[in-house]
Amino acid sequence: MVTIISKMKTTAVLIAAVVVTCLGLQSPAIADWSPKKPIELIIMAGAGGGADQIARLLQGLAEQKDLSPRPIIPINKPGGSGAEALRYLQDKEGDDHTILVTLNSFYTTPVIQKGIGVDVSNFTPIGRMAIDTFVLWVNSSRDDITDLDSYIAAVKAAGNTWKVGGTGTGQEDSILTAMMEKEFGYDVTYIPFPGGGTVAKNLVGNHVDSTVNNPAEQNEFYRAGETKPIVQFTAERLPAYPDVPTAKELGVDMQYYMQRSINGPPGMSKEAQDWYIGLFKALFDSAEWQQFCTDDGLACDQWLAGDDLGTYHQEQIALHRDLIESVGASAITGE
Amino acid sequence: MEDIVLHLIGGLTEAMQPLNLTMIIAGCTLGLLIGAMPGLGSVNGVAILLPITFLVPPTAAIIFLAAIYYGAMYGGAISSITLGIPGASTAVATVFDGRPLAQAGHADRALTAAAVASFVGGTISVLLFTAFAPPLASFALKFGPPEEFALMVLAFATFIGLGGDDIPKTVFSILVGLVMASVGLDIISGQPRLIFGDIDGFLHGINFLVLAIGIYGIGEMLWTLETTRGEVMVHKVTISWQRMKHNCKDIKNYIKTTSMGSALGYFVGTLPAAGATPASLMSYGLAKTFSKDPDSFGKGNISGVAAPEAANNAASTGSMLPMITLGIPGSPTTAILLGGMIIWGLRPGPLLFTENPEFVWGLIGSLYIANFATLLINLAFIPLFVKILTLPFSILAPVIYILCVVGGYAPTQTMHDVWLMLLFGVVGYLLRKLNYPVAPAVLAIVLGPLAERSLRQSLLGSHGDVSIFLTRPISAVCIAIAVALICYPLVQKLQKRRRADTGTGTG
């Protein structure tokens, strides 16, 4: 008995020792870089949302194909529309074992919340995995809403008691909501939830009246007949919804996309950046990832990495700054 | 119903396959050890072991991960009871009474109660899961922000009402917890608040496990040092057949709170975003509220161990419901399980039950067997765990200290939290000396963020109109019960006084 206890204690001490060693180990930047400890994959949104699903799929594929010598650990930091995650990454300057999977709040949150003091153009761009799309959803029980016109009529009739669920002020769905308010001339009440999955659930439970979820977040409910798509905010109809018109077809040129990319903290070593680019390129090219994109209405035909992605980020930052200016930051934050 | 029975038999047969059975036993044992290590919870365990599961078919893989999740719920109680350090956040409530029992030489009794209550909780919830999964999933959908908030109010009320503790001190403790819960980023606007100037470590809020480990691990150690003056402290616990028999007879003392905790835990677990930690705390509060002897809670009442343990196991089963039927994880661990399912090509959602029945029923079948396996493994290990307590305090104290530091560091991996944990240790010791209850503060820091979010969401939706909590039936019922719970001790006091008055009047 006593030997077993001492063994248990030895194990405990060993675990403690391992933790302490991990702390002290600073991986030196050598020419042939590979991770020395578990990689933190930070998700700037809540569990169950689009970013979360993507991060977990990428993690699983990397493990399955044995692409990384160390495990990749997804961590959700959804606080403050991604502010928590961005700040966390900024503070990890020079760290080679932390990466971030983004959504467009990567661009908008630093503009809207100047207080967090984050400049994402300093982050290390790794690779763009996909472009996500947006669709307007209502509960299937709303028989009065069949198309965009009847939707607008219903919102106007409800006055500002119409509730739109979203993932947080400053997130892309709140920007799209503000764009719609401006275009169609109505006012809604925007209610933030932690993650797109919870938003979808609240639409099914009739706690909100409409959402602008990504297809991945609503697809299973749509297949089960719980919710229905009204209009798509894309240039062309998505293969997943051949019968749902785009806003453009209806004479409203409203398009909005969201990039899903992987980025490192500021000052990540070149060697590490190259290693991660190789890793995510392999994942991007995998049949599983391409299949996921097709099923979930993501566009995954163009791979963008390193400096090219950096340039793309610059363009998007400028675009979002203009967007926020045109609808007004207060329309998004609801102040 | 016949359908369900047929499916269940199929599921049990599936779970009994040699490979799946091996997975269950390996998973439960691993989970037990992971849960017993402070700072290493089921989340880490499942995340680290996820890749291993790509070597086996999806059903075996999810069974393995679910068994780890399950085993960890049992395991968390072990260090809570023997060392006074919560092994996982779900086992914090188990410390409240588990530790005093161990100190009084009843560790075996507490550990048996934890194992039995976990078994009962797990079994009741898996039965509920089997029979009522689809209707409960649609009931969970009825829970919008106002209902969630009303449920939180109810949870707070169980801690204030009927407690028998000093009510002003309880309220004070809750308020301190609420203030600490609001540190970090504002959940609606994303602006930093209460970060003490600009201390980065506060941006992610105060981790609840850091608080609990500090107060219970370090604070308790300081307290023991003071009361024993470092004298050797030996608990004479001998495990005999007689004692085991006595422990079995003990079951009738906590079976009521266990069943209550199981039902509550299952229900709270099914609500997305709640999970096993709030469930265990609420169950503890409920057990205290309905106890004939509420004063003995926190001083070593066996029901105080059984209630949270039943609830956390029940909730872990419950939280698989939103994962499977809605694709929304009910707890951080199920979020990782969900990731696994997506990789295996399974799409969690309302159609999973009909499209992949062998997978869902295999999982349900394995839960029955995992419950039984974990009970046996756990009971077999009790004599060993109890031996830990016979070590001299001069050896135990440094071990506890190291485990606390590791446990404080592990969840967020920042030294900031280790310092904070030590600070909470000193604060916890002082609060104890001043006779303030700390459990309500722990409850407040867990439920505070959930309550704040749902309150603000509700008021945004109703344009600031608070009547929304009273006009919706489910939330109105919850609020009414909460008010009754808060008022009850006042009524009791008044009655006592009147009786005393009339007593002196006639005499």
Per-residue pLDDT reduced to its tens digit, B263-281: 999 988 888 666 788 899 8
Q: Test A79 with B187 for CB contact under 8 angstroms.
A: yes
**H helical segments located in A92-171:** 105-112, 148-158
Domain total of chain B: 1
pLDDT at position A156: 95
Q: Check whether residue A276 and residue A237 sit in a common domain.
A: no
Residue B506, domain member (yes or no) = no
Q: Check whether residue A279 and residue A143 sit in a common domain.
A: no
Among chain A residues, CA nearest to B410: A19
Q: Check whether residue A206 and residue A59 sit in a common domain.
A: no
Element holding A260 (H helix, E strand): strand A258-264
Residue B372, domain member (yes or no) = yes
For the record, the structure tokens of A314 come out as 């610059």
Q: Check whether residue A149 and residue A241 sit in a common domain.
A: yes
- How far B433 CA sits from the closest chain A CA (Å)? 31
Q: Chain A within 8 Å of B386 (Cβ-Cβ)? A: no
Q: What is the mean pLDDT of chain B?
A: 84
Q: Check whether residue A208 and residue A248 sit in a common domain.
A: yes
B41-58 pLDDT per residue, tens: 777 777 777 767 777 888
Residue B202, domain member (yes or no) = yes
Range of the domain at A177: 135-256
Q: Test A333 with B189 for CB contact under 8 angstroms.
A: yes
- How far B285 CA sits from the closest chain A CA (Å)? 27
Please identify, among A221, A256, A291, the residue that sits at the C-terminal boundary of a domain.
A256
pLDDT at position A1: 40
pLDDT score of B234 more than 70: no
Among residues 284-313 of chain A, which lie with CB inside 8 Å of chain B? Answer: none
From CA A118, how far away is CA A110, in angstroms rounded?
Answer: 6
Asked if this assembly's ipTM is beyond 0.90, the reply is no
Q: Check whether residue A199 and residue A276 sit in a common domain.
A: no
Residue A117, domain member (yes or no) = yes
Residue B307's pLDDT band (cuts 50, 70, 90): very high
Question: Residues B407-418: what's their mean pLDDT?
Answer: 82
- Of residues B187, B342, B348, nearest to A57 (C-beta): B342
CA A171-A175-A179 angle, to 5 degrees, is 170
- How far B237 CA sits from the closest chain A CA (Å)? 14
Question: Residues B247-257: what's their mean pLDDT?
Answer: 85
Domain total of chain A: 2
Identify all chain B residues contacting A294, using CB atoms and an 8 Å cutoff.
Answer: none
Q: Chain A within 8 Å of B143 (Cβ-Cβ)? A: yes
Q: Check whether residue A223 and residue A317 sit in a common domain.
A: no
Question: Residues B162-188: what's their mean pLDDT?
Answer: 81
pLDDT at position B237: 59
From CA B420, how far away is CA B40, in angstroms rounded?
Answer: 19
- Highest mean pLDDT: which range of A48-52, A70-74, A218-222: A218-222
Residue B505, domain member (yes or no) = no
- Of residues B204, B328, B410, nearest to A48 (C-beta): B328
Q: Check whether residue A323 and residue A236 sit in a common domain.
A: no
How far the first Cα of chain B sits from its last, in Å, is 65
pLDDT at position A186: 93
Helices and strands per DSSP (H, E), number in chain B = 23, 2
Residue A291, domain member (yes or no) = yes
B84-117 pLDDT per residue, tens: 888 778 888 999 999 889 888 888 899 999 999 9
From CA A325, how far away is CA B81, in angstroms rounded?
Answer: 58
Identify all chain A residues contacting B136, using CB atoms and an 8 Å cutoff.
Answer: none
Q: Chain A within 8 Å of B491 (Cβ-Cβ)? A: no
From CA A199, how far away is CA B13, in angstroms rounded?
Answer: 38
Contact A235, A246 (CB under 8 A): yes
Residue A267, domain member (yes or no) = yes
Q: Check whether residue A105 and residue A141 sit in a common domain.
A: no
Question: Residues B470-490: what's their mean pLDDT?
Answer: 87
Residue A250, domain member (yes or no) = yes
Residue A92, domain member (yes or no) = yes
Residue B87, domain member (yes or no) = yes
Residue A28's pLDDT band (cuts 50, 70, 90): very low
Residue B21's pLDDT band (cuts 50, 70, 90): very high
Cβ-Cβ contacts under 8 Å between A and B: the total is 183
Residue A28 burial (10 A CB sphere; 0-12, 13-18, 19+):
exposed
pLDDT score of A18 more than 90: no
Q: Test A163 with B461 for CB contact under 8 angstroms.
A: yes
pLDDT at position B113: 93
A171-197 pLDDT per residue, tens: 788 889 999 998 999 999 999 987 788
- How far B340 CA sits from the closest chain A CA (Å)? 7
pLDDT at position B238: 62
A67-84 pLDDT per residue, tens: 988 888 888 887 777 888
- Of residues A168, A205, A226, nearest to B144 (C-beta): A205
Q: Chain A within 8 Å of B186 (Cβ-Cβ)? A: yes
For the record, the structure tokens of A291 come out as 């299949």
A201-218 pLDDT per residue, tens: 899 999 999 999 988 888
pLDDT at position B227: 79
DSSP lists the bridge partners of residue A101 as A43, A262
Q: A215-223 vs A50-64: helix axis angle to the nearest 10?
A: 90
Residue A83's SS3 state is: helix
pLDDT at position B121: 94
Of A1-5, A220-224, B153-157, which gets the smallest average pLDDT? Answer: A1-5
- Of residues B37, B184, B338, nearest to A79 (C-beta): B184
Q: What is the CATH number of the domain that holds A242?
A: 3.40.190.10
A113-170 pLDDT per residue, tens: 777 788 999 999 999 999 989 999 999 999 999 999 999 999 999 988 999 999 887 7
Sign of CA dihedral A214, A216, A222, A226: negative
Residue A120, domain member (yes or no) = yes
Q: Test B185 with A201 for CB contact under 8 angstroms.
A: no
pLDDT at position B192: 80
More confident residue, B233 or A324: A324
Identify all chain A residues contacting B342, using CB atoms and an 8 Å cutoff.
Answer: 53, 56-57, 60
Identify all chain B residues contacting A63, using CB atoms and an 8 Å cutoff.
Answer: 50-51, 54
A263-311 pLDDT per residue, tens: 999 999 999 999 999 999 999 999 989 988 887 778 888 999 999 999 9
Among chain A residues, CA nearest to B472: A207
pLDDT at position B116: 93
pLDDT score of A17 more than 50: no
Residue A14, domain member (yes or no) = no
Residue A64 burial (10 A CB sphere; 0-12, 13-18, 19+):
middle
pLDDT at position A2: 42
Q: Chain B within 8 Å of A205 (Cβ-Cβ)? A: yes
Among residues 153-182 of chain A, which lie with CB inside 8 Å of chain B? Answer: 160-161, 163, 168-170
Among chain B residues, CA nearest to A204: B141
Q: Check whether residue A90 and residue A183 sit in a common domain.
A: no
- Of residues B272, B348, B410, nearest to A198 (C-beta): B272
pLDDT at position A19: 45
Identify all chain A residues contacting B391, using CB atoms and an 8 Å cutoff.
Answer: 5
From CA B261, how far away is CA B278, in angstroms rounded?
Answer: 12
Among chain A residues, CA nearest to B198: A116
pLDDT score of A254 more than 80: yes
Distances (CA, A) of B482 to B151, B155, B289, B348: 9, 8, 12, 35
Distances (CA, A) of B461 to A134, A160, B145, B151, B452: 23, 10, 9, 18, 14
Q: Chain B within 8 Å of A97 (Cβ-Cβ)? A: no
**Which are the contacts of A258, defined by CB distance < 8 A and separation ≥ 6?**
A103, A104, A131, A132, A133, A134, A172, A214
Residue A27's pLDDT band (cuts 50, 70, 90): very low
Q: Check whether residue A215 and residue A201 sit in a common domain.
A: yes
Question: Residues B110-133: what's their mean pLDDT?
Answer: 91
For the record, the structure tokens of B211 come out as 């608080």
pLDDT score of A5 more than 50: no
Range of the domain at B450: 2-498
CA A175-A164-A142 angle, to 5 degrees, is 135
Identify all chain A residues contacting B85, using CB atoms and an 8 Å cutoff.
Answer: none
Residue A15, domain member (yes or no) = no
From CA B455, how far away is CA A290, in angstroms rounded?
Answer: 41
Among chain B residues, CA nearest to A160: B463
Q: What is the CATH number of the domain that holds A274?
A: 3.40.190.150
Percent of chain A residues past pLDDT 70, beyond the cut: 88
Among chain A residues, CA nearest to B456: A191
From CA B170, how far away is CA B439, in angstroms rounded?
Answer: 9
- Of residues B273, B388, B403, nearest to A194 (C-beta): B273
Identify all chain A residues contacting B47, using CB atoms and an 8 Å cutoff.
Answer: 71, 73-74
pLDDT at position A24: 40
pLDDT score of B123 more than 70: yes
